[in-house]
Amino acid sequence: MAVLLKDLITLDNEVFSAYAFWAGVLVIKMLLLSILTAIQRIKTKTFANPEDLMSKHQKVKFDNPDVERVRRAHRNDLENILPFLVIGFLYVLTNPSVGLAVNLFRAVGISRILHTIVYAVVVLPQPSRALSFFICLFVTVYMAIQVIFAAL
Amino acid sequence: MAVLLKDLITLDNEVFSAYAFWAGVLVIKMLLLSILTAIQRIKTKTFANPEDLMSKHQKVKFDNPDVERVRRAHRNDLENILPFLVIGFLYVLTNPSVGLAVNLFRAVGISRILHTIVYAVVVLPQPSRALSFFICLFVTVYMAIQVIFAAL
Amino acid sequence: MAVLLKDLITLDNEVFSAYAFWAGVLVIKMLLLSILTAIQRIKTKTFANPEDLMSKHQKVKFDNPDVERVRRAHRNDLENILPFLVIGFLYVLTNPSVGLAVNLFRAVGISRILHTIVYAVVVLPQPSRALSFFICLFVTVYMAIQVIFAAL
């Protein structure tokens, strides 16, 4: 392949700016789950470290379902958004068609926001979480395959 | 250092395409652990969320050893593969010798696949998991040191 | 935006080399928590896998507070350092002022090292951990917003 990064990794490239836009949005979304965990910990008085306790009558606790739910949503982000961010960047370098690539980035961005909402904010019944989970997974696998073939 | 990225981050650069190839392979491998977790959850009827239960006689459970084993393997991937993917990219920019770099990427890729197999698929005795773990760790530290020195 | 990556992603760019330097340091710091976890596991004889047990009188254990503390510090790194590494790279592409960018990278690097020390090494009372945590969080959100605006 003869396409150079210099032609692709620039914010003038619509594919790359779509990637950069959704990377920014998704990272802020992920970090909000840290804040939401802290809110749930304070609301339910569930602290994992002795130095976090707010009075000497409290004890460390690990099993509050509301705290653990947010932590599972957060871990799911680590497992899915971070690999997507790496592969999405490399996918830009395969010089994909603009329309396809921009819509794939959009699909991942929106589906991961929905994943957080149905998992940790309002808690909707399945298959809402499963569907929002699989969109990002399938797109990331598709992009990874494109990267592998371009690299061969 | 006067080497520009435009000369290095292109799929024409053998070092970069080795990086991109193994990044694609390792991300797909990581994502398969999500699927394996789901398979183990269904097989052992171990669900962490009330909305995932498949009948009203089931209860949420967190302590199935087969599920937890896959989750530990997956977390180990997050702790090791993701930092490697960041540092591996920056290492390409230090313009390393092709033979060394390609073999380091290969060593990491193969050792992390073996790590998953011996940890979560067939469960082999130690030191198989420790060895496959340390290869990636040592290579990542080596590459990080090269990046630090190139950046100074 | 008309600035090309080729002008920015080079170790001649002071902003990019500050990013690369701290990326190398923070990745090594993260990986050291794997080693610290292993040390605490051996010291407290707390092993999560049957194949890790060192005699047949031992049993798997999951609840040692010293091991779990290091694991929480490590997970906090995954939640914060990895998103920072992605966004920090994209932030370089927004062509920020050198002084600001270099100091933000330095603030994140130093605060995450302090976070590990006060969480997992010497255990200092709050708000030492909260402060070191929020510096990285705020800088990452700031950089993500800059990336989003540059990408629009």
**Is residue A17 a part of any domain in this protein?**
yes
Q: Backbone dihedral region of B95: left (phi > 0), alpha (psi from -120 to 50 degrees) or beta?
A: left
Q: What is the mean pLDDT of the segment spanning A61-86?
A: 95
DSSP-assigned beta bridge partners for residue B4: C10
**Is residue A5 a part of any domain in this protein?**
no
Q: Which residue from C9, C68, C87 is facing A23, i.e. has the nearest CB? A: C87
Q: What is the mean pLDDT of the segment spanning B76-96?
A: 96
Q: What is the mean pLDDT of the segment spanning B107-112?
A: 98
d(CA C77, CA C117): 12
pLDDT one-digit tens code per residue, A90-100: 999 999 999 99
pLDDT at residue C88 in the model: 98
Tally of CB atoms within 10 A around C124: 14
Q: How far is A109 from chain C (nearest CA, A)?
A: 13
Measuring CA to CA, how many Å separate B15 from each of B87, C36, C38?
14, 32, 33
Question: Domain total for chain A?
Answer: 1
Binned at pLDDT 50, 70 and 90, residue A9 comes out as confident
**Is residue B4 a part of any domain in this protein?**
no
Domain of residue A119 covers 10-151
Specify the CATH number for the domain of residue A102: 1.20.120.550
Answer yes or no: do A74 and C72 touch at CB < 8 A. Answer: no
CB A141 within 8 A of CB B28: yes
- Chain A contacts in chain B segment 75-114 (CB below 8 A): 78, 82, 85-86
d(CA C70, CA C52): 18
**Is residue A1 a part of any domain in this protein?**
no
pLDDT at residue C5 in the model: 53
**Is residue A112 a part of any domain in this protein?**
yes
**Is residue A81 a part of any domain in this protein?**
yes
**Is residue A110 a part of any domain in this protein?**
yes
Binned at pLDDT 50, 70 and 90, residue B5 comes out as low
pLDDT at residue B1 in the model: 40
**Is residue B95 a part of any domain in this protein?**
yes
ipTM of the complex: 0.94
Q: Which residue from B6, B72, B79 is facing C34, i.e. has the nearest CB? A: B79
pLDDT one-digit tens code per residue, A22-32: 999 999 999 99
Q: How far is A142 from chain C (nearest CA, A)?
A: 21
Q: pTM of the entire structure? A: 0.95
d(CA B7, CA B14): 11
Q: Backbone dihedral region of A105: left (phi > 0), alpha (psi from -120 to 50 degrees) or beta?
A: alpha
pLDDT one-digit tens code per residue, A34-60: 999 999 999 999 999 999 998 888 899
User: Which of B10, B62, B112 to mutate against chain A (most A CBs within 10 Å)?
Assistant: B10
d(CA B132, CA B129): 5
Tally of CB atoms within 10 A around C117: 17
Kindly give, in sequence order, each residue whose CB lies less than 8 Å from that of residue C86, ignoring residues fewer than 6 positions away: A23, A27, A82, A85, A86, B86
User: What are φ and ψ of residue B112, in 5° steps?
Assistant: -75, -30
pLDDT one-digit tens code per residue, C101-122: 999 999 999 999 999 999 999 9
DSSP run (H or E) holding A73: helix A65-92
